Amino acid sequence: MTARHAAEILFTARRALALTGAGVSAESGIPTFRGEGGLWKQYDPVKVASIEYFMADPSAYWTVSKERGRVALAARPNPGHHALAALEAGGRLAAVVTQNTDGLHQESGSRNVIEIHGSSRTVQCLDCASREPRADVQARLHEEMPPRCKVCGGTYLKPTVVLFGEPMPQAAITKAFALAREADVLLVVGSSLVVYPAADIPLVALRSGARMIVINAEPTPYDELAEVVIQGRSGEVLPEIVDLIGG
């Protein structure tokens, strides 16, 4: 199973959908949760990235996410992000449904991006609901812990991501599943496919007749349902596929 086979499938697709996870941004320097070099080896994200942990002590939450936020804000899109944007621009990809919160798909030029776990680029005050850019909050973390709301002085400033234990953004989830039902090809990239409801998207797409391509650094639970499985780095595999389609 090769990049050529994946290119052939995408070349004939009418409504291809990409489902991306943390692996797509690994080559931009943002650590994944699971897999090689994953953050689960350092600490348990289910604990430190949970709403209970945040509500119990916003300072503790921000102390952990301070370094991670710095890395994410400094990250730039890699060739994998650019390849997906090129597929969309060339009419080969209808949309990107992403579990990522880093905004790198949009930055690379992808237009139709559905963020099912929210965005870490913005922070919201849980007291007065006002929002400000994550970069602004990040800049004052060294002098203010926890960071305070500029409008009301509140101390519960939370990135607009879905923490463990929080409800999913309903509109984005509905859109993602509608796209999955309409898709004739599902391109899964850099997701361990174990986080729900994202991990249900391949089943919904397959049930509606989609062909599936999986590109991931390691095996996923859905590999045997895929027509093409490419084990590798998305920043290398995706540009190769785009080249094959273009050439």
Please list the active-site residues: 117
Find the part of the chain contacting ligand NAD (CB under 6 A) among 2-10, 98-106, 176-184, 201-209. 98-106
Q: Are 40 and 33 in contact (CB under 8 A)?
A: yes
Residue 217 binding: pick among ligand NAD, Zn ion, none (C-beta 5-8 Å cut-off by kind)? ligand NAD
Find the part of the chain contacting Zn ion (CB under 5 A) among 21-29, 47-55, 126-134, 164-172. 126-134
Residue 109 binding: pick among ligand NAD, Zn ion, none (C-beta 5-8 Å cut-off by kind)? none
Residue 34 binding ligand NAD, by CB under 6 A = yes
Least distance from ligand NAD to the Cβ atom of residue 162, Å: 7
- Residue 225 per-residue DSSP state: G
CA–CA dist 157, 134 (Å, integer): 10
Among 6, 21, 125, 185, binds ligand NAD (CB under 6 A): 21
Among 74, 135, 139, 152, binds Zn ion (CB under 5 A): 152
Least distance from ligand NAD to the Cβ atom of residue 194, Å: 6
Residue 22 binding ligand NAD, by CB under 6 A = yes
Strand order in 118-125's β-sheet? 131-133, 118-125, 157-161
Residue 149 binding Zn ion, by CB under 5 A = yes
Q: Are 230 and 1 in contact (CB under 8 A)?
A: yes
Least distance from Zn ion to the Cβ atom of residue 153, Å: 7
Least distance from ligand NAD to the Cβ atom of residue 83, Å: 12
- How many other C-beta atoms can be found within 10 angstroms of the C-beta atom of residue 183? 28
CA–CA dist 19, 193 (Å, integer): 10
3-state secondary structure 165-212: CCCCCHHHHHHHHHHHHHCCEEEEECCCCCCCCHHHHHHHHHHCCCEE
Which CB atom, from 51 or from 206, has the smaller least distance to Zn ion? 51
Residue 44 binding ligand NAD, by CB under 6 A = no
Strand order in 211-216's β-sheet? 113-115, 95-98, 16-20, 185-189, 211-216, 228-231
Tell me which residues touch Zn ion (CB under 5 A).
Answer: 125, 127-128, 149, 151-152, 154
